[in-house]
Amino acid sequence: MEADILHSGFDGLKFTVETDIPPALRTALAEAKAQAIQTNAETVLEFGSVALSVRRTGGSAFSAHTGEYGAEWYFLDPENRPANNPGITVDFRALLLATGGLDAAEKHFRDCMAAFGITYAEHILRVTRVDYAIDFLAPWFEPDREALVVPPGTRVQEHTGIAETETHATGARVTGLRAGAVANRQLIIYDKRQEVMQKGKLGWLTIWNDARAQLNRPPLDLAERGSSQVWRFELRMGAKQLRNRWEMRSWQDLRDMVGDAYSEFCEKIRYTCPTTDSNRARWPTHELWHQVSNVIALDLHENYSGVLPSEVIETNRAEHMRMLDRQILGLLVSRAAASEVQPFEFKGFLDSHIEALKRLSDEHPTSINERLGRADDRYRFK
C-alpha cells in the first residue's frame, strides 16, 4: 500500500557538559530566576548575543530555553552542585533539528557556549539521547503490537491516547505502540496528526505540506482524517547505546557513528507482517519498516564508520592503555631524577623500583581485589 514520507530527520538530541557555569552567568541567572519567581512568568535574559528565557522552576538549579528553534538549557548551580552530576544539560528542540539537523544544533550549541563565556574541551561532552523520526502519510495503517519483533526481555506497551498513560484497553482505536526503554533502544509508533491537532504544533503541518508540494500533491486537511492520517516512527537511543555500547560521546563521535547505531537498531527491532509461523524471527518485514531502514541508510549515509561496537571499544581500550603507559614512564623518569639516578643507571633503577612498588602494594591496607574493582568501575570498555 502507498505511504508518502512527509518528513525524516533527527527529532531529539541531548548533551551534557561536565563543567560549571562562570560566576557572571550564575549571577545573571540567579537574578533572572528571582524575577521569574516574583512575576510568576519567564524572564528574558540577554547574555552576550543570546536571549535566554529563564523559568521560575528548577529547584536550586536554573532552567531556561532559547526558543522553539533553540534548545532547553539546564544549569546546575556551581555553588550547590551535587558530586558527579554534569553542570550543564542541553536538550535541542525538535523544530531546530527538523529544519537544520545536526549542523544547526552544533552551531547553536557552540554559539551559546561562546556567548555564555563557558570554556570546554570536547572530552567533557557526553551525548545522552538521540531521537530519529520518520513521518508517513498512511491512512490505511494502524499499529499492531503483535507485529513488533524485539529482542528477548524488551517491554512492549500499547496506548490509546496522546495524553494518557499506556494501557492494554481493548475496543478503542490504537493510536500508538512503544517498545523498549529510553535509556537503551526505544521504538515509538504513534498518531502524529492527533498530537499536532491536540497540542497546536502546526509547524509540523507546514513541514508536511512543503513535502507534499515537492511531490506536486495538495496540502493536507487535518479535518479529514481519512486523507491526512500521519504516523510517526520514532527511534530513540539513550546512554546505554550511545555511550556504553558505541562509545559515542562528542559531536564528532555522533557524526562518525550514529548511522551505524541506527542501522543496528533497525536489525534488532522490526515491525513485521505476522504469519502462522511459530518462529517470529522468520516473519516478513513490513513495507513501512523497509522504508524506515532505507530512509535511515540514505539520510545517515555520511554518518557510518563501518566499525562494530566491539572494535570501537577495543580501540579505546588500547589508546587508554598507551596513555597510561606514557604517564607511568613519565612518573618513573621524574622519580629517577628525584633520586639523582644517572642515565646509564635508569634501566637498573626500573628493575629495583618495580620490586619496591610490589612491596608497597602488598602493604596497602586495601586488598588488590578491591582496588582493581574500583579501577574497573571507572572505565566502561565492556
pLDDT tens, residue by residue, 270-286: 999 999 999 998 999 99
- Tell me if 134 sits within 8 A of 232, measured CB to CB: yes
pTM over 0.85: no
150 and 282 part of one domain: yes
Tally of CA atoms within 13 A in the half-sphere of 252 that contains its CB: 4
221 and 286 part of one domain: yes
Residue 125 falls within a domain, yes or no?
no
Residue 299 falls within a domain, yes or no?
yes
143 and 278 part of one domain: yes
- Residue 113 C-alpha cell reads as 557556549
Please tell me the predicted confidence (pLDDT) of residue 317: 64
Please tell me the predicted confidence (pLDDT) of residue 162: 45
Residue 233, phi then psi, degrees to nearest 5: -100, 110
Q: At what angle do helices 346-363 and 309-338 cross, to 10 degrees?
A: 110
171 and 29 part of one domain: no
278 and 194 part of one domain: yes
264 and 149 part of one domain: yes
280 and 147 part of one domain: yes
Residue 146 falls within a domain, yes or no?
yes
- The pLDDT tens digits of the residues spanning 187-201 come to 999 999 999 999 988
Please tell me the predicted confidence (pLDDT) of residue 311: 53
- Tell me if 222 sits within 8 A of 205, measured CB to CB: yes
SS3 state at 292: helix
Proportion of the chain in helix, strand, coil states, percent, rounded to 5? 45, 20, 30
SS3 state at 55: coil
Please tell me the predicted confidence (pLDDT) of residue 164: 40
Residue 124 falls within a domain, yes or no?
no
38 and 144 part of one domain: no
Q: From its phi and psi, is residue 235 left (phi > 0), alpha (psi between -120 and 50) or beta?
A: beta
Tally of CA atoms within 13 A in the half-sphere of 269 that contains its CB: 26
Domain count, the chain: 3
Residue 5 falls within a domain, yes or no?
yes
Residue-number span of the structural domain to which 354 is assigned: 311-378
DSSP 155-212: -EEEES-TTSPP----SS---EEEEE-TTSEEEEEEEHHHHHHHHT-THHHHHHHHHH
Q: Which residue's C-alpha cell is 544544533? A: 105
Of 288, 307, 326, the position where a domain reaches its end is 307
30 and 105 part of one domain: yes
136 and 249 part of one domain: yes
Residue 126 falls within a domain, yes or no?
no
Residue 108 falls within a domain, yes or no?
yes
Which of 286, 8, 6 lies closest to 143 in space, CA to CA?
286
- Name the DSSP letter for residue 76: -
Rg (CA), the chain: 26
Of 273, 288, 307, the position where a domain reaches its end is 307
The DSSP element (H or E) to which 327 belongs, if any, is helix 309-338
| Angstrom distance (rounded) from CA 13 to CA 97 | 8
Residue 15 falls within a domain, yes or no?
no
30 and 66 part of one domain: yes
Residue 299, phi then psi, degrees to nearest 5: -65, -35
Please tell me the predicted confidence (pLDDT) of residue 360: 87
Virtual torsion, Cα 78, 84, 87, 92, nearest 10 deg: -160
Positive or negative torsion for Cα 294, 299, 301, 303: negative
Of 307, 339, 365, the position where a domain reaches its end is 307
- Tell me if 382 sits within 8 A of 316, measured CB to CB: no
The DSSP element (H or E) to which 115 belongs, if any, is helix 94-116
253 and 319 part of one domain: no
- Tell me if 71 sits within 8 A of 96, measured CB to CB: yes
Please tell me the predicted confidence (pLDDT) of residue 170: 34
Give pLDDT tens digits along the chain (382 positions). 779 999 999 999 999 999 999 999 999 999 999 999 999 999 999 999 999 999 999 888 999 999 999 999 999 999 988 888 999 999 999 999 999 999 999 999 999 999 999 999 998 999 999 999 999 999 999 999 899 998 887 778 876 654 443 433 334 578 899 998 889 999 999 999 999 999 988 899 999 999 999 989 999 999 999 999 999 999 999 998 998 888 888 999 999 999 999 999 999 999 999 999 999 989 999 999 999 999 999 999 888 766 555 555 555 566 667 778 888 888 889 989 999 999 998 989 888 888 888 888 888 888 888 888 777 665 554 4
| Angstrom distance (rounded) from CA 86 to CA 83 | 9
Please tell me the predicted confidence (pLDDT) of residue 108: 97
Q: Tell me how far CA of residue 244 lies from CA of 19, 258, 261, 368, 380, in angstroms.
A: 21, 14, 12, 26, 7
Question: What b/e sequence results for 302-315 when a residue is b if at least 16 CB atoms lie within 10 Å of its CB, and e otherwise?
Answer: ebbeeeebeebbee
